[in-house]
Structure 1
């Protein structure tokens, strides 16, 4: 039986809940021997606050309005960037992540962006392959702009192994 959900703009009072959802979603990385992900901090409150102010933070909610997942959009070098997409593990496989991606694509298009960029883990089923099935393609390192190289360096500083990460882009 399908589980109903809706997508709406996040409320200011839900910013900490969004961080909790990200932390809970990261628990699935235990399955693929990537424990360093569990030690990483969720999206910083200032980033969430800015996305909230811009109307670029959405939550998927259940029938009684409890958040089940979220999408956080920012920009990198003037390009729409899916900074974070997280869904509670207990709700995986219900189309929530896909719906949040489509919502982010719609918002990027409405803001006159032609593409949506993201960074994710390669070879992890719910990361790069998931996005590839939704129309994202890997950006070859030779096509990285200065800003994208900076994004990659920031990820390394935060503890992401560079060899496991890929940048992906989709037309919106």
Structure 2
């Protein structure tokens, strides 16, 4: 039994381990396998995002987080910073439930959209988000905020030709 609930400050300690576990899936993609050994978001950053009130966890029947979605309000959009599910729990609908929660929250807040950056061709990235109605932004559709995020990712070693910004519009 999985429950989706708002993340609590005390959940922050568990989130880097979930991110690390989720990242192991990249070992199946030779060009991106290095991501499995990359740095995780710090507990402090998770606490800050949780305090902003746009983060959720998927908790098991003992109320232990097994997945999470961290987001923040950026202008008129909810921006998803991270969506991770423990590797051993992937493929069971947890990511879908977390994303549904975030989209519903953005609608309730009256925001115009949900945005994110991700890999274009990794099956659990852009193709996953397309199922929810997200579209890949191209050229002039990429606003300054998203262009800056993509540029920062490239500076940290992400292959820019494989990355994209996506948006789900409500209006």
| 1:115-160 superposed Cα distances (whole Å, 9 cap, x missing partner) | 1001111111111111111211111132112222111111112221
2:92 paired residue number: 94
Q: How many residues end up aligned between the 2 structures? A: 169
1:19 corresponds, among 12, 16, 19, to: 16
Secondary structure, counterpart of 1:105 in structure 2: helix
Secondary structure, counterpart of 1:41 in structure 2: coil
Change (3 A) 1:76 1:96: same
1:7 paired residue number: 4
1:28 paired residue number: 25
For 1:76 and 1:159, locate their aligned partners in 2 and report how far apart those are by CA, in whole Å: 24
Change (3 A) 1:154 1:75: farther
Flag structure 2 segments of 5+ consecutive residues without an equivalent.
Answer: none
Secondary structure, counterpart of 1:29 in structure 2: helix
For 1:147 and 1:128, locate their aligned partners in 2 and report how far apart those are by CA, in whole Å: 19
2:165 paired residue number: 167
Q: How many Å apart are 1:51 and its aligned residue?
A: 1.8
Flag structure 1 segments of 5+ consecutive residues without an equivalent.
Answer: none
For 1:157 and 1:16, locate their aligned partners in 2 and report how far apart those are by CA, in whole Å: 28
1:128 corresponds, among 126, 129, 134, to: 126
Q: How many Å apart are 1:46 and its aligned residue?
A: 4.0
Instruction: Give the alignment's TM-score, normalised by structure 1.
Output: 0.91
2:72 paired residue number: 74
| 1:79-101 superposed Cα distances (whole Å, 9 cap, x missing partner) | 21011000011111111101100
Instruction: Say which is worse superposed, 87-96 or 32-41, in terms of deviation.
Output: 32-41
Q: Is the 8 A contact 2:150 2:164 kept in 1?
A: no
For 2:155 and 2:37, locate their aligned partners in 1 and report how far apart those are by CA, in whole Å: 13
Instruction: Give the alignment's TM-score, normalised by structure 2.
Output: 0.91
For 1:37 and 1:77, locate their aligned partners in 2 and report how far apart those are by CA, in whole Å: 30
Q: How many Å apart are 1:49 and its aligned residue?
A: 2.0
